[in-house]
Chain A
Amino acid sequence: MHTYEVFLKKDGRDEYRHAGALDAANDDLALVLARESYLRRAEGDRLWLVRRSNLIIGDPAFVAPNANKAHRHHDGGAVAARRKSLRTQKANEQ
């Protein structure tokens, strides 16, 4: 048996989304079983199956360290605060 990751997409501009996983003996059977397990209610028009063994997986120690770099979060908060402060300062001067 192989484990497959299942991705579905509705036709149009939606992106493929991960729907789940399944076990099957080979690729042909995986397609048949994915259809019955994940597409019974026409949840998508397109289907990708990827063998889990073919995924390239980043180690958490490699992936996680960027979590604490707040300066890379471009929410505009720092700029907005600075502009507000300048406006207040200017108003006080008048």
Chain B
Amino acid sequence: MTIDVNDGTREWLLALADDKHLMGQQHAEWIGVTPFLEEDLAFCSIGQDELGHAALLYELLVGDDDAAIDSLAFDRGAGDYRSCHLVEMATDNWSTAFARHWLFDAADRCRWELVADSALVPLADLAARVEREEVFHRLHAERMLDVLMNDPDAARRLQRAVAQLAPLVHGLFEPAAGESAAIEAGAATGPFADQWSGFVAEVETRVGPVDWGDPPEQRARTQRSADWQPLMSRMREVIDLDVSATW
């Protein structure tokens, strides 16, 4: 189902969708290389869910034509994406990847709460569906944290990873331009930034005080980080073999 939205709402939803899309891709790239088989399956399942959520959000914007969804997902110019730098960041460090999964899902929960009672009924319905799956993502992260924070070496690595990611997580809370128009239209029920202090308290309860630093320069999410282009090339690897092919 497509929804008719103003430009601000469209930007807001693109930010949500692009974050989900790139996060799903990053998680999926861990297939075969996580520390143990069970975690491999769990992490990739979570990635698959994220990609599914992104596809449903893109569908809200362009309808259920697969080619249109693919085009929105893969064919925009760099400046037209609205992802944050956290989900663009490349890492081959498992503690960083795991910490990002935890922090992203906790932050994303705050964001989806803003559309749970959206005046756009299809969006509110989607929020309910997404939450049914996200509950298990958060459960996975939380139960892993219980174990890892009880082990001094693992806890140290995790705290290091959180410290490294903190400014980028700060950047996740930067909305795309037009958030006020999305709120005025009733698409979102409040500004994302209002969720920040609650999120910080939740994280620091688990890992202690964090120096969140300054968010990276994202210019209302129009500026890509250095890791974006290589990530997009990996995502487009098969498409780019023959862009005219029909799948």
Which A residues contact B (CB, under 8 angstroms)?
A: 22-26, 28-29, 32-33, 35-37, 40
Contact = CB atoms under 8 A, between A and B. Distances in A.
A27 to B, nearest CB: 10
B109 interface: no
Interface of B: 36-39, 41-42, 45-46, 136, 139-140, 143-144, 146-147
Contacts, number: 38
Contacts of B140: 32, 36
**Interchain residue pairs A-B with the least CB separation, the first 5:** A36-B42, A33-B38, A25-B147, A29-B143, A28-B143
Contact of A24 (B38, B45, B136): B38
Most buried by A among B42, B139, B144: B42
10 contacts: A23-B37, A23-B38, A24-B38, A28-B143, A29-B147, A33-B41, A36-B42, A36-B46, A36-B140, A37-B41
B153 to A, nearest CB: 14
Most buried by B among A23, A29, A35, A37: A29
Given A22-B38, A40-B41, 16 more contacts: A22-B37, A23-B38, A26-B143, A26-B147, A28-B143, A32-B42, A32-B136, A32-B139, A33-B38, A33-B39, A33-B42, A35-B136, A36-B45, A36-B46, A37-B37, A37-B41
Contacts of A37: 37-38, 41-42
A49 B47 CA distance: 25
A22 B41 CA distance: 11
Nearest to B43: A36
A25 B41 CA distance: 16
A54 B183 CA distance: 56
A37 to B, nearest CB: 5
A35 B143 CA distance: 13
A28 B140 CA distance: 9
A28 B148 CA distance: 13
A51 B22 CA distance: 37
Nearest to B39: A33
Contacts of A24: 38
Contacts of A28: 143, 146
Nearest to A28: B143
A25 B143 CA distance: 10
A36 B147 contact: no
Contacts of B45: 36, 40
A40 B45 CA distance: 8
B77 to A, nearest CB: 36
Nearest to A34: B38
B108 to A, nearest CB: 18
A71 B51 CA distance: 60
B143 A32 contact: yes
Contacts of B46: 36
